[in-house]
């Protein structure tokens, strides 16, 4: 099991996708920003200087982006759940924390960001 203090994080993954409740969101799309952090034991990778014994953060970022781009859904909560499942699919990942930001959300008042965060563990 991963030491809960060991984590790999990739933040600010930018993806254009078509998620949202409103027709114009589905038609026009918008930018989503994803932060993902995974708990994985890094001791073996560090002691052996071995990429094969860790999570390749480049591959993680690409897998996250692809998960966000596909199959439009209504809720960013659903997107976050999907991304967490993808992250947990990497060997050695015991927990994934995913935040999905929707900075262009259709809100009538000025705001900086809207985001949801999920934390999921390997079952």
Active site residues: 102
64, 35 Cβ separation under 8 angstroms: no
Give the tokens for residue 17.
């996708």
Q: How far apart are CA 115 and CA 96, in angstroms?
A: 16
Give the dihedral of Cα atoms 48, 89, 17, 77; nearest 10 deg: -120
Q: How far apart are CA 43 and CA 104, in angstroms?
A: 40
């Amino acid at each position: 099991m991963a030491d809960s203090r060991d984590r790999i994080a990739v933040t600010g993954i930018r993806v254009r996708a078509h998620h949202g409740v409103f027709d114009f969101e589905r038609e026009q799309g918008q930018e989503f920003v994803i932060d993902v952090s995974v708990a994985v034991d890094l001791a073996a990778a560090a002691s052996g200087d071995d990429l094969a014994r860790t999570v390749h953060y480049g591959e993680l970022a690409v897998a996250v982006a692809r998960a966000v781009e596909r199959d439009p859904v209504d809720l960013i909560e659903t997107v976050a759940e999907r991304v967490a499942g993808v992250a947990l699919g990497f060997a050695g990942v015991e927990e994934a924390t995913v935040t999905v930001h929707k900075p262009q959300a259709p809100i009538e008042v000025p705001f900086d960001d809207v985001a949801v965060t999920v934390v999921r563990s390997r079952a």
